[in-house]
Structure 1
Amino acid sequence: MTGSIEQGTSQTHGNTHILHFLVRLPRPMDAVWPRLATPEGLTAWCTPVDTLEPRLGGAIDLRDLGGGRITAWDVDRVAEYTVEGGRIRFHLERDGDDGTALRFTHEFQGEAETEQRWRARFERLIEVLESP
């Protein structure tokens, strides 16, 4: 199985933008989770991480996306980071025998993020997961 970005949608409500992606990843959930829920994992494909306290209510500081709190934390399944001006949610589901479906939502204010920027990040995530 190779990874793919199956779906990307963007909605705007006033000054609030919501991006949704469905990303199919070529590894099981337990191999994907550390890429979404550890400083080393996020830094490898998304953005440098200055702080990540891995628990509900823990502090998070994502250098390019802002600082805030972890507002959902279901180990191996859901990580949600509410940062300045937005919310980033990673939701993992099984996809076949050896794959993972990542349902991603980013809700934010202003124009800082784009669908293209997240698509590029997910392409890097797929590369990281496919390399030996």
Structure 2
Amino acid sequence: MSGSIAQGTSQTHGNMHILHFVVRLPQRMEDVWPAVATSEGLGDWFTPADVLEPRLGGAVALRGMGSGEVTAWDVDRVAEYTVEGGGRIRFHLEREGEDGSALRFTHEFQGEEETEQRWRSRFERLIEVLGRPQA
């Protein structure tokens, strides 16, 4: 079974944009966690994390997004990064069935750089990366 990306939603409040996605994955939460909560994992499908201190209040620098801090951290469940210029990016994992998980994603940002289609492409890449046999 491969992953699937539920329809994303987009809201605008003044100059603040909010994107939401639910990505259903055939991998367990603890197997998906490194993809959203480590420098290597983020670099495989999203963008390199030049700095990522894996703890609440830790420093983070996401290439092309900006630098800031880890604003939520619950191991194997929630990783949230708030970066100057890039807004707030939240990955929330939930168990789904025996061996699957749902990734609930939110991105709050200002400006026009990010789009629903751009994130959809990133999540397609995440599904591809997670589906590769582990070495």
TM-score normalised according to structure 1 size: 0.98
3-state SS of the aligned residue for 1:55?
coil
Residue in 2 that maps onto 1:124: 125
Listed as ranges, the matches of 1:12-23 within 5 Å are 12-23=12-23
Listed as ranges, the matches of 1:1-132 within 5 Å are 1-85=1-85, 86-132=87-133
3-state SS of the aligned residue for 2:8?
strand
How many aligned positions are there? Answer: 132
CA–CA distance in 2 between the matches of 1:58 and 1:111?
27
Please provide the CA RMSD for this pair: 0.7
Amino acid at match of 1:72: A
Amino acid at match of 2:34: P
CA–CA distance in 1 between the matches of 2:80 and 2:121?
20
CA–CA distance in 2 between the matches of 1:129 and 1:26?
9
CA–CA distance in 2 between the matches of 1:93 and 1:115?
22
Q: Give the gaps of 5 or more residues in structure 2.
A: none
Q: Give the gaps of 5 or more residues in structure 1.
A: none
Deviation at 1:7, TM superposition (A): 2.4
Q: Which runs of 4+ in 1 moved over 3 A?
A: none
Deviation at 1:65, TM superposition (A): 1.3
TM-score normalised according to structure 2 size: 0.96
